[in-house]
Amino acid sequence: MASLAFSATKTCSTPTYMTFFEKFDHVKHDNPIFWKVNFTSNKCKKRDLIITNVATKPPAVAPPAPPPPATTTNTVQSKRKLVAWTSVKQERWQGELEVEGEIPLWLNGTYLRNGPGLWHLGDYNFRHLFDGYATLVRLHFENGRLIMGHRQLESEAYKAAKKNNKLCYREFSEVPKPDNFLAYIGDMANLFSGASLTDNANTGVVKLGDGRVVCLTETIKGSIVVDPKTLDTIGKFQYDDNFGGLIHSAHPIVNDEEFITLLPDLINPGYLVVRMEPGTNERKVIGRVDCRGGPAPGWVHSFPVTEHYVIVPEMPLRYCAQNLLRAEPTPLYKFQWHPESKGFMHVMCKAGGNIVASVEVPLYVTFHFINAYEETDEDGRIKAVIADCCEHNADTTILEKLRLQHLRSFNGEDVLPDARVGRFTIPLDGSPYGKLEAALNPDEHGKGMDMCSINPAYLGKKYRYAYACGAQRPCNFPNTLTKVDLVDKKAKNWYDEGSVPSEPFFVARPGATREDDGVVISIISDKNGDGYALVLDGTTFEEIARAKFPYGLPYGLHGCWVPKK
């Protein structure tokens, strides 16, 4: 999921309330706050845990931003739901946390998580989950200790909003309100040039093969380099090529050898597949896929690869210029649903860029692909490509359900649209049709499935395990952490009633030979307005450690791992 923009062209404690921006001025940008945290022990469920690494100095916490108007009279429900969907309490914080349990001594490095964390400007509240200004969270693990920090990403969109106390760039569902007709005409010109599109890189964060860390969203201008140690915003990531265009896949394929992404072509509907080598900023063309249906390309938030192929999805949820031009968002925002245009999956050879398969598949809706691999016959010849995703049963209402109004108003009714592990089978024998079916019974994970990770050593290879967010019904948002076994077709689920976990991120143990030998890290917004970092054993999926934050953090999206050098 992302902050999406689209184009039609190629601390100090104080008893007095302070607004977010007044607080930012009070805590100067060039004067970072470093504290240590001391919390009262709070034993984890199901087991007695050892308290280790107790820090000594309590934090100074800024007063919270005013919550949006309550949408329910149930005080308990209101307190439970708002922690994940309320703006971050202050622009930055850093300190060592008290750990309950034991963090493995081999876990040395930094987990970075990106996501929208500021959903208001003055008294104005944003509408959609994807609109918020990016908040980076850092969990640094070293010798069993844990230091946490967070900081707002200093995009041009964020800095302009802070300076003017109003929206200045187009976000996912938000459009700056022009002062007059001439300003409106100017905004239209800036839209088509890309000048008014946001650079609010609030979707993901990746470590490139050369060590640089980049925050991303679906606008190309929203590629921003950050310092993984301080979370400082270093500057724009400038691409050294002439491709032009304004949008790309929010989730590239990134490893130590390469960076692959998709560039949708909105004029001549299709997708350009490009690669960038470590140490460079230049993208080079692998090949192009022409769309087989619809008036525009399907939305490509993510895509998978195998060892030899790039898989390009063409979803019937397609980009729509008319919707972009509207002052108020439609239920599908920048998209339109075109079931008559059908759904397709294309397979491109990494080496030569030629299309080896282009098949029609059942209608589908997905934000996130999990993984893909090549299926061989008894002689070792590749006969098909298998691609797994978090698929929403071709139901586009998931976009509307992510409005903050819906997320903040849970009243006990089960309103989260169903989702499954959707498995595409793409034959390489020239057949015009592929298959889409559930990889396991969706009841195993509560018919909820999104925000997934795998052991990165299995990227593009046959794999067994995936880690994702599932559902404990009734709910209005994924609320469990789930380990999916795609061989035994079973799932293990971790659940803390009333809490909202963010993406489970798998980190393999150095030297591991088993696929699930490692830990899973997640950040939890809990029902009491607090939050904590959680570490699960990757094999048993049992909790082994947690560390409470000084205050609850907003929900976040995607992360990456930066190993200690």
d(CA 440, CA 426) in angstroms, rounded, equals 18
How far, rounded to the nearest angstrom, does the alpha carbon of residue 550 sit from its chain's CA centroid?
23
List, in sequence order, the alpha helices (H) in 221-272.
Answer: none
Percentage of the chain modeled with pLDDT above 90: 75
Instruction: Among 29-43, 112-126, 293-307, name the one with the lowest average pLDDT.
Output: 29-43
176-219 tens-digit pLDDT: 876 665 655 656 556 656 677 999 999 999 999 999 999 999 99
Residues 6+ apart with CB under 8 A from 208: 214, 254, 259, 278
Higher per-residue confidence, 306 vs 124: 306
535 torsion bin: left (phi>0), alpha (psi -120 to 50), beta (else): beta
Nearest in space to 392 (alpha carbons), one of 369, 362, 414, 422: 422
Two tokens at 332?
């599908």
Beta strands in 392-530 (DSSP E): 420-427, 435-438, 450-453, 465-470, 480-485, 490-495, 500-501, 505-508, 518-525
| Per-residue CA distances from 11 to 26, 66, 121, 125, 233 (Å) | 8, 18, 20, 24, 20
For 185, counting Cβ atoms within 10 Å of its Cβ (0-12 exposed, 13-18 middle, 19+ buried), the class is exposed
Which residues belong to the annotated binding site? 251, 301, 368, 558
Separation of alpha carbons 547 and 535, rounded Å: 9
Which long-range CB contacts under 8 A does 229-233 form with residues at least 24 apart?
A: 229/110, 230/32, 231/92, 231/136, 231/138, 231/149, 231/150, 231/151, 232/151, 233/153, 233/154, 233/155
Which pLDDT belongs to residue 190? 60
Cα-based distances in Å from 312 to 60, 119, 259:
48, 33, 15
Which of helix, strand or coil describes residue 157?
Answer: helix
**Cβ atoms within 10 Å, residue 282:** 13
Write the Ramachandran bin of 22: left for phi over 0, alpha for psi from -120 to 50, otherwise beta: alpha
Residues within the annotated binding site for Fe cation?
A: 251, 301, 368, 558
Residue matched to tokens 């067994």: 464
Give Cα separations from 365 to 185, 265, 323, 397, 531 (angstroms).
35, 20, 19, 10, 31
Tell me: pLDDT of 44 over 50: no
**pLDDT value of residue 176:** 85
Q: Is the peptide bond before 252 cis (omega within 30 degrees of 0)?
A: no
- For position 49, what pLDDT does the model report? 43
The pair of three-digit structure tokens given for residue 483, joined into one six-digit string: 């380990």
Residue 141 clears pLDDT 70, i.e. is over it: yes
119 to 131, 158, 300, 404: CA distances (angstroms)? 7, 11, 25, 9
Let me know if 277 is exposed, middle or buried by CB neighbors in 10 A (0-12, 13-18, 19+). middle
| Span 274-284, average pLDDT | 96
* Nearest in space to 222 (alpha carbons), one of 169, 298, 300: 169
What distance in Å separates the CA atoms of residue 65 and residue 554, rounded to the nearest whole number? 12
Mean pLDDT for all residues in the chain: 86
pLDDT digit string, tens, across residues 230-239: 999 999 999 9
Output the pLDDT for position 32.
Answer: 37
pLDDT of residue 327: 64
Residue 510: the pLDDT is: 97
Query: Sorting pLDDT into bands at 50, 70 and 90, what band is 527?
Result: confident
| 393 pLDDT above the threshold of 60 | yes
